[in-house]
Structure 1
Amino acid sequence: MKTLLFLISVVLSLAFNSDVWAGYVITRQFTKPGVEKGREALPHLQNKGLIAEFLDPGDTGLGKCLGYLIWREVLTAISDQSGAGVILAHPPGQERIVDLLEKNYHLAALEIARDQRCSMALWGAVWEQGEQVFLNSFLSVLPEVRGGDLLIRLKPVPGLEAEIARTRYNFALVQTNRNNLFERTVVTRRSAVLRAEPQANGRPLQTVPTNTPLAATAMQGGWFVVKTADGGKAFVDNSLVEVPPRQVEGKYNTATLFQGPGQDSRKIRTVYLDGEYRVLDMRYRRGLWYKIDLGDTQGWVAGHLVDPKFSLPAVHFMAGLYRYRAGNYRAAIKEFTSFREESYTLGDRANLATSMQFKGAAQLFLKDASGALDSFSYAVELTPFDPAAYNLEALAILCTKGQLVGTALYNLERALKLDSRNPRTLALISVLQEALVKGKHRSHIESRFESPEKLAKKLQQLREQAGLTQP
């Protein structure tokens, strides 16, 4: 495997305070597994993820740019999530990684993520054909967190649990172009120097004040190419600017359009939002605000009234994982819903199913058993070959009452037919029967089935089908 040095750049996102950034650089050499560990960045944080530079087999220069761009988009997506850290791993300087195999690169990214105690790692590959850019993206949830974050327990019965089994995601291919990726507004987060070359000692052209929106047209490494006031071009380092989504989407809702960011600004008028709108500016002021272009007018709307549109659906998926890990379940539901809407036409059935499982789990935590059941049922429809999907739907059914609950056993039976030794399925059957036999939680279990006698009989049949002995 080729020797590869990685630099780790870190940004800390803290509760809508865009001034709180923690920078960190680590040099690592990856020649074989088990190398000496590097210094951990942001050791006080438990909710961290890693973005690795995208592989670029055609040496187009897009791999390095996309690493920075997706890193910044994930930061924007979780900008209001307290205590969340995002780490970017990339080779130093202009060193390229075009010769690495995907498998080796994936292992290297996971090793960095483990070393930094990250719970997930996102990376990808890019190639260009004519004016079209093709993007593959991959995300891994580290196996070390499977027993905690991905396990859903139904109280008060001990052992009544199921898990979201998939931890590796190969997202559907995205076809786009350079303009759709890089033509966007960026906003200075402090006084920023625009330079003639994309390097720290590049010739300074002008200094622009904080909160200045700049029109970006391209990227070169970690630098945005922006238009100057005289129509020329300049470079600004990505660390000096906020990176809003290129567009936001309104979904059949009304919103008040303000002259400035904040409800204390002058109201322009009430507008009906239905479609996608170009973002002209972004500001954090008692929450997130976007300035959008409606064609006949421009104005500011509250961020919670629109949905951001990012370069890859995977950004929403990763943001959903951050929210879910933090217990911010309503925000997690919104992110996984956005992922579903952006991925639906791509035919990404397995990842769509997992997003619905996370959404369903978040709904269970919010005590929305009916909504959770709908989400888990949709996951089964998308992946009828997945035993874990049936286990999760069975668990959701056990949270409800009424005639529908009888189908919980059907789900367990389906799971067994797909995998007769599935440990979660077998555990669910054993826990249900043990509760009936020993009686400690018998009333809780029986109250969820229209016929306790049929329940006991069916459980015994399932145990015999699986070759289990009596509890």
Structure 2
Amino acid sequence: MVVILIALSGSVTAGEGVCLNDAGRISCVDRALPHVAQKAVVLEFIDPSNTGYGEAASRLMWRETLTAIRNMRGRGVLLATRSGDTAPQRENWDELLREFGMDPVQILQGSFHPGALRLGKALDGQMVAWGGVVKSDTRVALHSFLSVIPEVWKPILEIKVPLASDPTAPALARLPVEIDRLAFAPVIAEPDVLFGSPVSARCNLDAGCPNGVPIKSAPEEQARLPTGPVEGTPLKIIGARGKWLNVELPAGERVWMNFYHAEFGPIAVTIPPDRPVMLRNAPGTLQGGQLQTQGPHRVESVRRTSGVLWYQISSEHRSGWVKEDEVEPVHRLPAVHFLAGLYRYGAAQYPRAEREFRAFLHGETSRGDPVTHAMALQLIALSRLKQDVKPPGASPEEALSEALKLTPFNPTLYSMRAAIRLTEEPKSLPAALNDVTHALSLYPDHPAARAFAGSLAASAERRPQALRADGIDPTAILEAAEAFPPPGSLPR
């Protein structure tokens, strides 16, 4: 049986089991998080080298994603893993395996991106994070990928060019923007560095933890120790196996703890340039001083006080604490920033979405896939376009120009630039039409470019007076449409 652990942002208590068969249908429950507006599925990572870190890698991404969106209400993350967290789930493994014949990890190994989409759709997820772990000398390389459900994101990302003279009228033109499968730069490190993170103990049992947060002498359920650390105790991660973290207690004792009971923080934080941040003497206090440097500052410890996370950092030769919502987190896995950006964009938090996509680009630098980096820049352009108050000195076109340097033969980018130009300045029609023509010359049958060109020509033909009221010459559009490369023609 493959168990789906569920967590809601803002409340990291979870634990519903969901069973899947090889057709991607849900057997144990009808739907996971049925009332949650937006959720991602993190699938157990493939482990072809038998490193033993496949499940641990997926749990790391799950927890980092939860940390990234923890202040977003109504957002959830589902984790699909082989091992369960209750005895009945483990006892049912063999029976369910015989019934279903194949588990999701096998589905993923057999078809990769299509398999990820099948599993994500089965759980009503909008995004599916998955990957693989392979050996690299004494280190491990964590490769992560993201598949998004096209039919969910097409309407969210679509650019609608409005009529300035009548914003309530049907759009002048529409451009569908699609996210395809995305590949992220591998994270290569020694296991203790890969999984090492500032964490603290947290009780996630409904009945509470009267004997302390549960810990084990070995990575197995029956190895429970009689007492555990109190909630909030800082821990040092020294390794991981499956769903277990090998942690060092403050006194130096090494024990095992379920990922579920670790309060994760980012590996570092940066200070936003537009607002001051206090470095406090202790969590929840007002005493301290203002931080002077932007960072990044390495997070040394994490603590929860009255439902708020605090991060301990060192700056200017002094140590102190910063509040989670006053700083920008830096996550170990750059893919988490991309995923968090999609969450923010889907929730119409466009400034935060842009910051997450920028953090992703900063984390991967030049090591990543140019297509994925160009997609991040497209999403930055869309985030800027949707903001009511545009950031000074940062235009959507600027982000698209950066993307075109990476993928200069991408028809979607030229179509996007045309749509954005018409949205922001209708008088830029000649330049926009040149972009549409260029997009279709690169790929005459490109679905997005063809749809945008068709909607633009249809408006010019059916609503010429409305276009003229916006200062747009419908005749120029129809003349340009006559010269567009026809469907089925060869690229120029």
Cα shift at 1:288:
4.7
**Structure 2 Cα separation of the partners of residues 141 and 167 of structure 1:** 7
- Note closer, same or farther for the CA distance 1:324–1:99 as it changes in structure 2 (3 Å cut): closer
Cα shift at 1:239:
1.4
The one-letter code matched in structure 2 to 1:307 is E
Once the two structures are superposed, what CA deviation does each residue of 1:185-215 show, in whole Å capped at 9, x if it has no partner?
2122334122212233323153222222212
**Structure 1 Cα separation of the partners of residues 287 and 54 of structure 2:** 43
Cα shift at 1:298:
1.3
1:428 to 435, 452, 464: 452
Segment of structure 1 superposing worse, 221-230 or 95-104:
95-104
2:13 to 10, 21, 36: 21
Task: Judge conservation of contact 1:55–1:97 (CA < 8 Å) in 2.
Answer: no
**Structure 1 Cα separation of the partners of residues 224 and 26 of structure 2:** 40
Segment of structure 1 superposing worse, 121-130 or 418-427:
418-427
Matches within 5 A, 1:126-275: 126-156=133-163, 157-158=170-171, 160-190=173-203, 191-204=212-225, 206-250=227-271, 255-262=277-284, 264-275=285-296
Q: Which runs of 5+ in 2 are unaligned?
A: 85-89, 94-102, 164-169, 204-211, 488-492
Task: Judge conservation of contact 1:178–1:218 (CA < 8 Å) in 2.
Answer: yes
| Residue in 1 that maps onto 2:395 | 371
SS in 2 for 1:272: coil
Cα shift at 1:463:
2.9
Cα shift at 1:69:
0.8
1:441 to 466, 472, 482: 466
- Note closer, same or farther for the CA distance 1:162–1:444 as it changes in structure 2 (3 Å cut): farther
Cα shift at 1:394:
1.0
| Residue in 2 that maps onto 1:62 | 53
The one-letter code matched in structure 2 to 1:414 is H
1:386 to 383, 407, 410: 410
**Structure 2 Cα separation of the partners of residues 444 and 204 of structure 1:** 76
Task: Judge conservation of contact 2:32–2:123 (CA < 8 Å) in 1.
Answer: yes
Segment of structure 1 superposing worse, 71-80 or 124-133:
124-133
2:98 aligned with 1:76, yes or no? no
Cα shift at 1:442:
1.4
**Structure 2 Cα separation of the partners of residues 87 and 339 of structure 1:** 22
Task: Judge conservation of contact 2:19–2:26 (CA < 8 Å) in 1.
Answer: no
**Structure 1 Cα separation of the partners of residues 25 and 278 of structure 2:** 56
Task: Judge conservation of contact 1:194–1:236 (CA < 8 Å) in 2.
Answer: yes
2:31 aligned with 1:40, yes or no? yes
Segment of structure 1 superposing worse, 93-102 or 74-83:
93-102
The one-letter code matched in structure 2 to 1:7 is V
| Residue in 1 that maps onto 2:208 | none
The one-letter code matched in structure 1 to 2:347 is A
SS in 2 for 1:28: coil
Task: Judge conservation of contact 1:52–1:88 (CA < 8 Å) in 2.
Answer: yes
Cα shift at 1:182:
1.7
- Note closer, same or farther for the CA distance 1:38–1:154 as it changes in structure 2 (3 Å cut): same
Once the two structures are superposed, what CA deviation does each residue of 1:10-41 show, in whole Å capped at 9, x if it has no partner?
11113xxx4x52321123332x4668685311
| Residue in 2 that maps onto 1:461 | 480
| Residue in 2 that maps onto 1:307 | 328
Once the two structures are superposed, what CA deviation does each residue of 1:112-161 show, in whole Å capped at 9, x if it has no partner?
21121001101001111222221211111012214322212122352512
2:124 to 102, 117, 126: 117
SS in 1 for 2:21: strand
Quote the RMSD (CA, aligned, Å).
2.9
**Structure 2 Cα separation of the partners of residues 102 and 430 of structure 1:** 40
| Residue in 1 that maps onto 2:7 | 11
The one-letter code matched in structure 1 to 2:468 is S
Total equivalences in the alignment: 452
The one-letter code matched in structure 2 to 1:76 is T
| Residue in 2 that maps onto 1:355 | 376
Q: Which runs of 5+ in 1 are unaligned?
A: none
Aligned sequence identity (%)? 29
**Structure 2 Cα separation of the partners of residues 467 and 273 of structure 1:** 53
- Note closer, same or farther for the CA distance 1:97–1:433 as it changes in structure 2 (3 Å cut): closer
Task: Judge conservation of contact 1:432–1:445 (CA < 8 Å) in 2.
Answer: no
Task: Judge conservation of contact 1:163–1:392 (CA < 8 Å) in 2.
Answer: no
- Note closer, same or farther for the CA distance 1:231–1:279 as it changes in structure 2 (3 Å cut): closer
| Residue in 2 that maps onto 1:277 | 298
**Structure 2 Cα separation of the partners of residues 34 and 285 of structure 1:** 40
Cα shift at 1:56:
0.7
Cα shift at 1:386:
1.2
